[in-house]
Structure 1
Amino acid sequence: MTKLKATLTLDKNYQIDKVDDRIYGSFIEHLGRAVYGGIYEPGHPEADEQGFRKDVIELVKELNVPIIRYPGGNMVSAYNWEDGIGPKEERPRRLELAWRTIETNEVGTNEFVDWAKKVGAEVMMAVNLGTRGIDAARNLLEYTNHPGGTYWSDLRRSHGYEEPHNIKTWCLGNEMDGPWQIGHKTAYEYGRIANETGKAMKLVDPTIELVACGSSSSEMPTFPEYEATTLDLAYDQIDYISLHQYYGNRSNDTPNFLAKNLTMDHFIKSVIATCDYIKAKRRSKKTIKLSFDEWNVWYHSNDADKQIEPWTIAPPQLEDHYNFEDALLIGSLLITFLKHADRVKMAAMAQLVNVIAPIMTENEGRSWKQTIFYPYMHASVYGRGISLKPILSSPKYDSREFTDVPYIDAGAVYNEENEEVTIFLVNKHLESAMPMDIDLRSFEGYELVEHIELVSDDLKAVNTADHQAVAPQQNTHSKLDGGILTAHLSKASWNVIRLRKGAN
């Protein structure tokens, strides 16, 4: 039997691109308990003067989230943004059609901007291109970004916000290719309205960046024609095209589940090819970037969501309780973003609190970190700098849907300013540890700081408010000698190896 071993070479000159910090973004939608009972709960013992939960704020700050998409999601396609501004006692309650709940509008644009500042994040604002269009979008932009002297900007000032919010990233609708979407549009219909809305918005504020809807998943029958048509019609106005994809293990086939980052990789490459085809067709000098602004594991809560009574307020929807194997795939998906750092410039883990989220709360009670919290946190905190091209040699396996799946996923980030290198590794082998030699001779004078690992003997282990069954620990087996790092990757593990020049 051949002994398993992997090798990796990293060189400071083998660079993909600078990592845009916004790939570590997230998402808060008016859905389930993401807002009400998640970030906002005025009666909670930890609530601040605005009703925001301080315990949740601290957990979000640990994740170092740079940008947060808001307010949807499917919800935005029938949302009247004006319902969420002005005195709270005057705000209407509405039927929220996407998730069939009652929206109280206690939290709206201004409150969310305030909360985002508390957690140190920018806002990625979405406009309604389902039931509304150009007029509502340009009015919202005027409300948030114009200094004053006009109807909407002065209305904002009368609401207590003298200075503009200066929101710079805007999504032109949400998943408009999906038949489930309120106001679903063909690619031609969407491309036209996206172009005209973008044109009007950039007249209001030429400094904004616009994200057009791409396909809701790579399995959509209209993919990638939807992207091609949209781009052809709106190329001059937009800066990013969005990608959405969720992953599940419904067949309880872990080796196959852990290979699904290959699906993400193929999706990204296909969208890049489509963008560049339209660029060539139009003889354009502009390169469209990618915003992977919905991604996560989502399948655990599907059956429970079918039982929810309609027209209630903030029911527990989409509350996946994540296990250890979910955290492993999340690590591989984050590594995939790093390997496409030249084109994927924004991303949003969907979502942030309670709804398919790394953070869970109890109403009136505790908050805690799900298993997926940790790889997300590690990548966000340590994965800032220049993404390096990993020269990887790894044993491979075949699964039900995939062939030649590397047991090891590898990504690395070089922070030249701080003289640090961080290596992210996933060992997908469920039965065997993997010895690994990492050639770091390009980084002379660098020393090992630590090797963090996330491991568990139970692939289905979950974290609760009472018990953190899955949490990071130190791996003390890795050694650096003569520029070669000898690492020991535990079976089924997420690994973060940190190095710094002259660390010791």
Structure 2
Amino acid sequence: MNKALISVDREAVVAPINRRIFGSFVEHLGRCVYDGIYEPGHATANEDGFRMDVVDLVRELGSTTIRYPGGNFVSGFRWEDSVGPRDRRPVRRDLAWHSLETNQVGVDEFSRWLKLTGSELMMAVNLGTRGIEAALDLLEYCNHPSGTALSDQRIANGTPEPHDIRMWCLGNEMDGPWQTGYMTADDYGKIAARTAQAMKAADKGLELVVCGSSSSSMPTFGDWERTVLEHTYEHVDFISCHAYYQERGDDLDSYLASSLDMQYFIETVVATADHVGNKLKSKKKIQLSFDEWNIWYLDEHRESDEVNGEWRYAPRQLEDVYSVADAVVLGNLLITLLKNHDRVASASLAQLVNVIAPIMTEPGGDAWRQTTFFPFSVTSRLARGEVLRPRIDVGTYSTEVYGDAPLVDSVVTSDEGAAAVFLVNRGRTPIEVQVDVAQLGVNEITEAVSLFDDDVYAKNTLAEQDRVGLTGLVGATLADGVVTVTLPPVSWSAIALG
């Protein structure tokens, strides 16, 4: 049997945990909002039309900051359409996803939904077809207490207290030719800088996210970040990163090592941001907002007819059904985000319900957990205090895409006599792991769970909603400061210590 030795140094602190690392994303796309979080006729719907069974699952998932309302959708969004009496709100065409938007869920309703889930709103402004004035108007509507035209309009619309949104995205994926109003890096950097400067003139305490590259495979990757930050560096706090992964062909081995690409992405953006900061002789450090990340079988969707010539309400789009292997990769991506938490200060799993999501719903019926729900929910629940970067001594295996990849990946969190160890076995055989936690002041294993299956492509579906779930990690022991455990093949695991 292969073996791995992991040692944890209490002084090897990456960063204190910011709960924003466990964020998610709700876009007006497919059935994410309509028939997802919002279904007035559902048996569990509240007075606003929100499905409370979905609210319960979102709370269990542990998502924190929710990015809204897009995504590609935001580049055509007229925020004014989404407020005021619902029977007066216009139906609009959404060019991003070729569908019809009713605007029945808007800024005020979504803010009320967030209170039900205990989440924070991360708002995106439209810099695709609009600009500074619309962004300032939305900011005034949302955040000014009272006594101005737009704050009083919010109050008249039934929301007396300001939404007090702290985190704002300056557009979305403005480097992408698919984006309505996409731009060159130079053009975008200029409009983003002017918008950021104006928004901070209204409220200097805002935290602003400028668009980075849509993926590390974009031809302008790296150069885009450099140019945009040269314009915006002193006006913004974050630069965004977006990354999606999928298994291609039958190359499971490469797919299981996808987090190596995410690590490359993070390191490249950090190096570029710091280069610009040094060039400008700035004292600040730009943080990363990895505000879109997930498993997405984009190749298959591009070949489908989900987006066609019809203009439809809430069509079924991008409804990936996830396997055990997908969940293991997602858990590994989350480990990577935590290992880089000193610079990745915020992250959003895209998306939350139905659309490439950990939660699925059926109109008038059930809501259930996808396989990817489990590693996210357990990590969000157990990760507390500080992130520690462990030393991992383990063998490698060969991949076509990434070369030799470590068989095991791990990250550790520690918080005043409690700790958690998160582990992934990328290999096809069991691995015995010993984790030296003697410096963490823990005495017992309080929880040990794993996600795996003899069929790595097993999934949870409407017909079999509980086919895949967490399994107790049998045989895990803690003796003389060392955790010993055997990780199943192709698995994600978590061990809580107290």
Fold shared per TM-score above 0.5: yes
Q: How do residues 281-430 of structure 1 correspond to structure 2 at under 5 angstroms?
A: 281-299=279-297, 302=301, 305-309=304-308, 310-416=310-416, 419-430=417-428
Aligned partner of residue 336 in structure 2, secondary structure = helix
CA distance in structure 2 between the partners assigned to 1:246 and 1:445 by the alignment: 36
The corresponding residue for 1:436 is 433
Note the alpha carbon deviations across 1:186-206, whole angstroms, 9 max, x for none. 001110100100111111111
Query: Are the counterparts in 2 of residues 145 and 205 from structure 1 also a CA contact under 8 Å?
Result: no
5+ residue gaps, structure 2: none
CA distance in structure 2 between the partners assigned to 1:108 and 1:133 by the alignment: 19
Question: After alignment, is 27-36 or 395-404 more displaced?
Answer: 395-404
CA distance in structure 2 between the partners assigned to 1:370 and 1:264 by the alignment: 22
Aligned partner of residue 442 in structure 1, secondary structure = helix
Amino acid at match of 2:89: R
The corresponding residue for 1:455 is 452
Q: Shift in Å at residue 49 of structure 1? A: 0.9
Amino acid at match of 2:441: E
Q: How do residues 25-44 of structure 1 correspond to structure 2 at under 5 angstroms?
A: 25-44=23-42
CA distance in structure 1 between the partners assigned to 2:228 and 2:344 by the alignment: 18
Scaled by the length of structure 1, the TM-score of the pair is 0.97
Note the alpha carbon deviations across 1:54-96, whole angstroms, 9 max, x for none. 1000000001111100000000001100000000000000011
CA distance in structure 2 between the partners assigned to 1:227 and 1:106 by the alignment: 36
Q: Does 1:188 align with 2:216?
A: no
Query: Are the counterparts in 1 of residues 442 and 497 from structure 2 also a CA contact under 8 Å?
Result: no
Amino acid at match of 2:14: I
Note the alpha carbon deviations across 1:230-289, whole angstroms, 9 max, x for none. 100011110000000110112121111011110000000000000000010000000000
Aligned partner of residue 48 in structure 2, secondary structure = coil
Q: How many aligned residue pairs are there?
A: 495
Q: Shift in Å at residue 469 of structure 1? A: 1.5
Q: Shift in Å at residue 445 of structure 1? A: 4.5
Q: Does 1:470 align with 2:486?
A: no
CA distance in structure 1 between the partners assigned to 2:311 and 2:460 by the alignment: 30
Q: Shift in Å at residue 394 of structure 1? A: 1.1
Question: After alignment, is 121-130 or 399-408 more displaced?
Answer: 399-408
Query: Are the counterparts in 2 of residues 305 and 318 from structure 1 also a CA contact under 8 Å?
Result: no
5+ residue gaps, structure 1: none
The corresponding residue for 1:270 is 268
Q: Shift in Å at residue 371 of structure 1? A: 0.3
CA distance in structure 2 between the partners assigned to 1:17 and 1:169 by the alignment: 20
Q: Shift in Å at residue 20 of structure 1? A: 1.3
The corresponding residue for 1:45 is 43
Aligned partner of residue 413 in structure 1, secondary structure = strand
CA distance in structure 2 between the partners assigned to 1:253 and 1:404 by the alignment: 14
Identity %: 48
CA distance in structure 2 between the partners assigned to 1:307 and 1:442 by the alignment: 53
Aligned partner of residue 399 in structure 2, secondary structure = coil
The corresponding residue for 1:488 is 486
Question: After alignment, is 206-215 or 442-451 more displaced?
Answer: 442-451
CA distance in structure 1 between the partners assigned to 2:116 and 2:372 by the alignment: 23
CA distance in structure 2 between the partners assigned to 1:74 and 1:28 by the alignment: 12
Amino acid at match of 2:211: C
CA distance in structure 2 between the partners assigned to 1:181 and 1:367 by the alignment: 31
Query: Are the counterparts in 2 of residues 101 and 312 from structure 1 also a CA contact under 8 Å?
Result: yes
Aligned partner of residue 438 in structure 2, secondary structure = coil
Cα root mean square deviation, aligned: 1.1
Q: 1:435 to 1:316 in 2, by over 3 A?
A: same
The corresponding residue for 2:127 is 129
CA distance in structure 2 between the partners assigned to 1:251 and 1:349 by the alignment: 24
Aligned partner of residue 355 in structure 2, secondary structure = coil
Moved over 6 A (4+): none
Q: How do residues 163-178 of structure 1 correspond to structure 2 at under 5 angstroms?
A: 163-178=161-176
The corresponding residue for 1:118 is 116
Amino acid at match of 1:130: G
CA distance in structure 2 between the partners assigned to 1:495 and 1:222 by the alignment: 37
